[in-house]
Structure formats: structure tokens, C-alpha cells
Chain A
């Protein structure tokens, strides 16, 4: 028989919940409400004149071809960062899982990039790929490709994707490794005895059993690509050349913090918020069905 433990009354559970509720309120609900409020206002930088403009900020954005173009850029960027980041991390995790000697050293080295600030990661890759002095740009040129991310939008996109992925791989790696170690060895051995090769074992046992981790990382990485990458972009391409690497969140940052156009910046955050809510809902509705817990 189950022994049911309950807390009497309403106040005590509330007190227990309070810290979490307070954090949610202060760091999530309140700023979100502020963004909503600011998005229907226009204000000069000093806040001396405020006018209510209704949905004008939104209308202006949706009629701005350069804003619409940055949707496409964001789509390409986020997809590349998420897929590459997951694939490379999974590969590394599978490799590290099999290493017997010195696995601690490998793991530590693979985790280090996570401690690097996005802007620093950006600057690092900026120097490596600098068309004039960068060693990687030099090597790529040796292979016959004229690397110049200052002019070529494709090169610039590749650069920011590499820098962002590199930064996130450690995080993904950590979770994949934990996921791999949680898979019972007996299952894999049984499959091996039945004659399944490494690839077959991976596709029919390991990958399906990893799916909760993969799904979790998918959500986290999409959010990362959407929100946390502006430091990388700011330090490497500043959204250029042209608008080739101006993703939505970078535009929020520049319009709000550089140009001090708070109304438009707030409207953009609201749109961004809606997109992420939508994306997460879609992920949970359609992808989670295929996850086996």
C-alpha cells in the first residue's frame, strides 16, 4: 500500500515554491512584460519623450525587407549550428566513450571550449580565419579556395557557424557522453553476439536509446543558436558582409543597445519570443513523439 505524503494547507507549499517563482518572475515574466510594453512605444534614447504607437513598431519591421531577410539568415544559421553541433558532438562522444587509456584527458580537453566566452570564441576564430594574417585562411587558400569572409557572405556564414558550433560542442558532448554511459553494456554485447556490426549497433540500439538526450539537446541548441550567439557574431562579422550574418537576435542587440532604438528592439524581441515558443511547441508536439524514454 502506498503511503501518501501530503502537505496540509496552502501556505507551506507556496513558501517552498516561492524562490523558484520569484526567480521566474524577476528574470522571465517581468522582462517579458517590459518587452511587450516597450514594443508599443516609441521613445528617444534618454526617455524624455514617449509616444504610444500601437503596433506601428511591428508594422515597420514587417515592411522592412532587411528584417525579413534576416529571418532567412537566422534559419540557415540556426539549422547549421544545431545540426553540425549535434553531429560533431555525437561523433566525439562515441569516440571518447570507446577510449580506454587517458579518457579523462580527452574528455577534459573536449569540455574546455565551454568555459570560453562567446565573444572570445568569436575573436579566436576571427584571427584564425583573418584573410590577411589568419593561419586557417592561409591553409584554405593553399587548397585553392580564396577565403575572404569580409566580402563573401558564404564564407562569413561558415565562419560564424564554426565559431558558434565550436563553442557549443562541449556542452553537447557532455550530455551525449552521459547518455552513452547510461546505455547498458549488456544490450550492446547481446547485439554484437547476434552479429550486429558497429554501425548497425549504433543505428538500432545506441541512437534510439540516446533519443531523449538528443531531443533535449535539440531544444537547447536551437535556443542557443537563436539567443546566445550574438557575441560570436558581434566579435567576428558584425552581421556583415552586407547582411549575410545578421541573425534576428543580433539585430535586437544592435538596434537596442547600439542604436538605442528601444521600441523597435522590444518589438523584435517579442517576435523572437513568439518564434521560440512556436518552435518549442512544434518540437514537443511532433518530435517528442519519436523519442523513446
Chain B
């Protein structure tokens, strides 16, 4: 054993002793999350950073499977009175969490009751707005948020004689570019999309400042009803069906299953979460660029701003005051620009404070990785309106599947865009009514 390894072993033993000694006095805070692999490592680093920054509390992260599994596990644990302090819940679970009034501890209350000088103004409105009550109070702590962007194959653009530094801005641009690419044989298909409901219906509505559903997309009342049967929505889905005939658009699956189409060079343009940046960067053997989502330029108010996806941290009821003090301290640590900037730069998720964005800018991150700032620019394009603040819809996990199913009926030619959207709205409204019934 060399001197170096001996020294290492000694320090490790000392560290172990030290943690064992302090563990007695420390208040433990459990944090259930859904970040596997690389993201999980980054998350653990945050918890370790917090634990090292002070000695009163220890945050213990536990990986509980994917988003759905984590949420289900936390709910089951709550029913058995074994709930964690903090649980990570994806955005479509927001309404379910909000409705569970006796089960959750709203973050603004937690911070007021246990936090030291907490300023809710530092958070990005576009991020926080999604998770705030109608009065604008923060209910959960944004953790990993992303927004959809457009990735394009610069090599294919160049081969088709297009400017590789100029991503298509409008849908007309995109169709034109796709035709040029198809004609030049630079790719077999123009564009494909991930998460069709999130991108082509939900974000489409926000970006064009039209309602997805009544009562401010459900923010103001459980009585909300879908409005994605407007002429604009029908026009867009109808267009996509038509573009399919010319291979301007190709469908590639419900989640991010369409990514291989882009990475293999089959499709020249790919719309998906900004959180896909790392995966695209790792998988593309061609030069790629990032642009904002396209819009119809004849629609007044477009482009408004996009909305987010991802997950937030909810605090559950039923624990001791001193433990909640630890949770509040952790949330403050989590919101510091340094922690946020690091998380943002390493994962591609959005920073939750403007300061973290400025810090990343100062550190030269956006020059180093061009396109990583597109998401935040698109998200903050304008002040969010009631149509672009986000969604607050119950049973939304199921409703997304309904929308997926109905859109697939359009792509395979069984239904027209009108019919599919009407059917999706009808089936979706049924689920909204059920949720209203169960929660009133």
C-alpha cells in the first residue's frame, strides 16, 4: 500500500467518523426523486453540497424510478403515513398535487414560516407561474424545467443551399426549408416532433397566445373545458397531416422516440425538449443548431412565449417543524445562483432564477455551447398571459394519452384533424369533469 492510498484511506475513515459523529445531531430530510443515471449523479452532488455547507441538516436523496413511479410511490407512502419530506413531481401531476390540500405544504407558506428572508421575486415568472396559485403564490419549488425548442441539422441545411445559421422562424419558413432539403436530397424528411401533445398542442397554444382550455387553462377553476378545437388548432394539425404526404413531416412516436430519426439524418429538423440538448449533442455526427419553435406569422400575438415541462419539488405534510426548517434551508441553497447555474449548465435544464442565467452568461457558457440559451429566451419572450402561463388540468396524465391516441388517428389517416381534435376535447372534458367531481 503506497503512502497515497494510505493517506486516502485514513481521510476516508476520518470522514466516516466525522459523519457518524454528526449524524446524531443532524436532522434528516428525505428527498424522493426520479432522476436516474447522469442526472441522478448531478442531483446527489447538490444534496452533498448542501450537507457540506452546514451541519444542522442532512438531505438524503432516494431514487424512486421514473416520474410516474415516484409520484405513485410518494402517494402510496402518504396513505401509509410514511411520506418523504420532499418529492419530485412532474408538471402534469401538478393539479393532482394541488388538489390534495391536506397532503401538501405549499412552498410559499413553508418559506414564510420557516425561511429566513426569502424573496419570491428572484424566480423566473415563466417557470414559477406554472406552479403558483391564482394569487401568484409559489406552491412547489421548481427543480428541473425545460421547454421545447427546435434542433436542426446544419449540414443538411447547407447541402440544400440554405443558410445554416438561420433556423426557420415561422411554419412557412419551415415548410419552405423542408421542401428545399427534400428536393436537394439532403434528408428524407423535413421535420419530426417529440411529445406531440406538449409541443404541437400545449406549447402551440401558448406560443400563439390562444387558450388551451377555459378559465385560464384551468388556473382559475376546476370547471375548465378544452378549447383546442379552434380553427387555428385544426389548421395546424390539418397542415401536419398534409405535410406528411410530402414527407415534410414524419411521425416518430409519443415521447422522444422520434429522436433517432433526427440523429440518423433521416429528418433535418427535430422539435423536442431543451433537456434533450445533451442527448442530441452526444448522438449527432453532424453540426446542429438550436432555434425557437416556429409559429404562424399571420396570428396576432405570436410568438408569445413557450411553456415549461419538467418537474418540481413538493413538500408533504406530517413532519416536525425542525425538519421543515431544514427543507426551507435546502430550498434556499437550491435557489442560489451558483447551484442553479451549475445544474443548468450540466443538464440543459433551465435555471429557475434570472441571476443564474446571468451568471452562466458571465461564465461564457452560452458562447461555448451556442443554442443553450434559446430555451430561456423563448420562455421569456414576453410576459406570460393567462394563455401562456402554463396548465392546471386534472387527470392530465390520462388526457395526454387521449390526445396522443387521437393525433395518431390523424397521422394514420383514420380521422381528419377536425374530427380527432373534437373527439380528443370530448374525451378530455370527460376526464376533467371526473376530476372536478372527485375533488369538490
Contacts and interface: CB of A to CB of B under 8 A. Distances in A.
A49 B264 contact: no
Interface stretch (B8-16, B249-257, B383-391): B249-257
B119 to A, nearest CB: 31
A257 B398 contact: no
B368 interface: no
Contacts of B439: 44, 49
Contacts of B251: 150-151
Given A151-B411, A258-B397, A44 B79 contact: no
Contacts of A131: 252
Nearest to B398: A259
B241 to A, nearest CB: 11
Interface stretch (A163-171, A185-193, A198-206, A233-241): A233-241
B260 A132 contact: yes
B398 A44 contact: no
Contact of B264 (A42, A133, A151, A240): A133
A257 B100 contact: no
Of the listed residues A242, A254, A257, the one surrounded by the most CB atoms of chain B closer than 10 A to its CB is: A242
A254 B401 contact: yes
A45 B68 contact: no
Given A150-B251, A257-B68, A49 B409 contact: no
Contacts of B336: none
B72 A257 contact: yes
B412 A151 contact: yes
Contacts of A46: 75, 78-79, 100, 102-103
Nearest to A246: B405
Interface in B382-425: 395, 397-398, 401, 404-406, 408-409, 411-412, 414
Contacts of B408: 150-151, 240-242
| Range for the number of chain A residues in contact with chain B | 20 to 34
A239 B427 contact: no
Nearest to A60: B434
A77 B84 CA distance: 41
A130 B257 CA distance: 9
- Mostly helix, strand, loop or mixed at chain B's interface? helix
| Range for the number of chain B residues in contact with chain A | 35 or more
Interface in B254-305: 254, 257, 260-261, 264, 266
Nearest to B430: A64
B257 A42 contact: no
Given A43-B438, A46-B78, A241 B395 contact: no
B44 interface: no
A241 B412 contact: yes
A45 B100 contact: yes
Interface of B: 68, 71-72, 75, 78-79, 96, 99-103, 251-254, 257, 260-261, 264, 266, 395, 397-398, 401, 404-406, 408-409, 411-412, 414, 427, 434, 437-439
Given A44-B439, A48-B102, A51-B438, 16 more contacts: A43-B438, A48-B103, A131-B252, A132-B252, A133-B260, A151-B251, A238-B254, A240-B254, A240-B404, A240-B405, A242-B412, A242-B414, A258-B68, A258-B72, A259-B395, A261-B395
